Amino acid sequence: MKQESTGSVERVVQQMHARLSDDLALRECERRALLFMAHFDTQEYQEAANLFALEGVWNRADGVINGRADFMRRMEARSPGIFVRHVITNMRAKRLNETEIRVDSYVTVYRHDFTGSIMVPASLSAPDVMGRYSDVFRMIEGEWLLYEKSVVVDFKR
């Protein structure tokens, strides 16, 4: 009886450990989705690129970014007067398989284009865009990296 009881406890502990480990991975991918856009908003493009897979794909409303090098080329070409903030909510993470997790979220985008340097506070009228992100993270060399980012625009000013 004692051996049976010990085996049951070990199984329960293993199941709890597996659930906790899975939950930590889901929360880490949500955190990385937020961090990627925070770096993007503050023009910390290299930090954002470090979270983007070398062969990652970002399906944007204005075109597709293919890979980390293309991401950096596009970011270097952006006007320094673009002031943007992404408000990301309603995050839902789901494990797709052992190496991929998808994070779905809603996004509201505020943007102001300055002709010179950025001066805050920027004028504000309404959000420019409201839509949805679908971010797929892939475990690559022990790190969750943004492998595919897709945008669906639901509302546009």
Coil/strand/helix, residue 24: helix
Domains identified in the chain, total number? 1
| Sequential pLDDT tens for the chain (157 residues) | 455 566 787 877 777 666 768 889 999 999 999 999 999 999 999 999 999 999 999 999 889 999 999 999 999 999 999 999 999 999 999 999 999 999 999 999 999 999 888 888 988 888 999 999 999 999 999 999 999 999 999 999 8
The domain of 53 spans: 2-156
The CATH number covering residue 110 comes to 3.10.450.50
Euclidean distance between CA atoms 52 and 63, whole angstroms:
17
Nearest to 101 by CA among 109, 92, 89: 92
Euclidean distance between CA atoms 40 and 118, whole angstroms:
15
| Contact predicate 151/132, CB 8 Å | yes
